[in-house]
């Protein structure tokens, strides 16, 4: 699954490039060409031209609301000050205590908050 260029990916890329150009030119024709000209060509079943302006506006307002929504979701997911999630979690509760070996680096583990506090705030005499 490497991101290296492959012949198939080049073909997909070119097809997408052509498709997006085609879609853009179609959108411009639909938005700008008067309805009578399109009717005279026999193409009558188009959406209302109102949507040529409405859809981009909807999209931009959604992007703007998305910023505020993301900020709000972050604030809601933050644990309140009285929850135990600020101190521990499922992984820390289930961790196994490895035996202490001489002259070896101690295994990585979650240190309980009481121990951390004692080390930081109580001066060792």
Count residues near another protein (CB under 8 A): 17
Which residues ranging from 61 to 120 are in contact with another protein (CB under 8 A)? 78-79, 81-84, 86-88, 93, 112-114, 117-118
- Whichever of 2 and 114 has its CB closer to another protein, that residue is 114
**DSSP per-residue codes, 28-79:** HHHHHS-HHHHHHTT------THHHHHHHHHHHHHHHHHHHHHHHHHHHHSP
The binding site for another protein (CB under 8 A) comprises 78-79, 81-84, 86-88, 93, 112-114, 117-118, 121-122
């Amino acid at each position: 699954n490497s991101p290296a260029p492959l012949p198939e990916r080049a073909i997909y890329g070119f097809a997408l490039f052509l498709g997006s150009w085609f879609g853009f030119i179609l959108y411009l024709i639909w938005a700008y060409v008067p309805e009578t000209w399109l009717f005279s060509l026999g193409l009558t079943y188009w959406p209302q031209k109102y949507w040529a302006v409405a859809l981009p506006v909807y999209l931009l307002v959604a992007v703007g609301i998305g910023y505020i929504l993301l900020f709000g979701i972050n604030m809601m997911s933050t644990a309140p000050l009285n929850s135990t999630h600020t101190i521990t979690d499922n992984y820390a509760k289930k961790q196994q205590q490895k035996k202490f070996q001489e002259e070896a680096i101690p295994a990585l583990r979650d240190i309980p908050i009481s121990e951390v506090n004692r080390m930081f705030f109580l001066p060792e005499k």
